[in-house]
Amino acid sequence: MTHLELFKEIDDFCRANGNEAIVKKYARYFKGDYTAFGLTLEQTNSKIKSLLEDADIDLNLVFRTAPLLLRTGKYEETSFALHLLMSFKKEFSKETFHKFECWFETGITNWAHSDFISGEIMQVFFKKEIITYHELDKWRAAKNKFQRRAVPVSLIKELKKTSDYQPYLDFIEPLMMDPEREVHQGLGWFLREAWKRQSSQVEPFLYKWKNKAPRLIFQYATEKMTPAEKQRYRKEK
């Protein structure tokens, strides 16, 4: 099977099984453009299983096909690329990471795919010690806001591995004045989870930024605090 044949099979499947009612159901969760066929996750997973059983697919073919899938702008076709990549997680290497990180530039255009990358794909690279979070250094200044969002969100599961969060706080600090809402949400999510585990380390960081950083970060970061605790991080007039 060639990459063109694989792309056509996936594209044909998506077009044949789309459901406009599903598109309308999920569109409300996305700001801006949400372009989809309307497949269920079960349909996507079933097709991937079938492809892997019946077709001669390897990691190289996934990388050759992915740009075609990503560039359509269709939600499900990007999902196919990401899930197919995960099917070969046992083969991940440093080369895999550097080839994969370019996908943000090609067509990662929503928070859901960014968070799948952060919570699933990146965790394989971390767990296998292929990379450390320092490899995300340049992601902090990426043009794609969903790549920048992926920095703090990728670190959430890493919080379980240590009690010293200061290096992580230092690492996300350059993002605290980011202009994009989706990045603010990712930062707030990370800070909330870090505060739940090590409040004494996170609170000085929050206090330092309370008068400068966007309020949405604090809305998420303080979500589990008591009203009195939240009051400490209100912006001073």
**pLDDT tens sequence across 16-54:** 999 999 999 999 999 877 899 999 989 999 999 999 997
**pLDDT tens sequence across 55-80:** 789 999 999 999 999 999 999 999 99
> Are 83 and 108 found together in one domain?
no
Q: What's the CATH number where 127 sits?
A: 1.25.10.90
**Count of structural domains within the chain:** 2
For residue 210, the model assigns a pLDDT of 95
Tell me what the pLDDT averaged over the chain comes to: 95
For the chain, give the DSSP string.
Answer: --HHHHHHHHHHHHHHH--HHHHHHHHTTSSS--------HHHHHHHHHHHHHHS---HHHHHHHHHHHHHT--HHHHHHHHHHHHTTGGG--HHHHHHHTTHHHHH--SHHHHHHIIIIIHHHHHHTTS--GGGGGGGGG-SSHHHHHHHHHHHTGGGGG-S--HHHHHHHGGGTT---HHHHHHHHHHHHHHHHH-HHHHHHHHHHHTTTS-HHHHHHHTTTS-HHHHHTTSPP-
> Are 81 and 119 found together in one domain?
no
What is the model's pTM?
0.94
For residue 236, the model assigns a pLDDT of 84
Domain encompassing residue 27: 1-91
**pLDDT tens sequence across 115-157:** 999 999 999 999 999 999 999 999 999 999 999 999 999 999 9
> Are 87 and 100 found together in one domain?
no
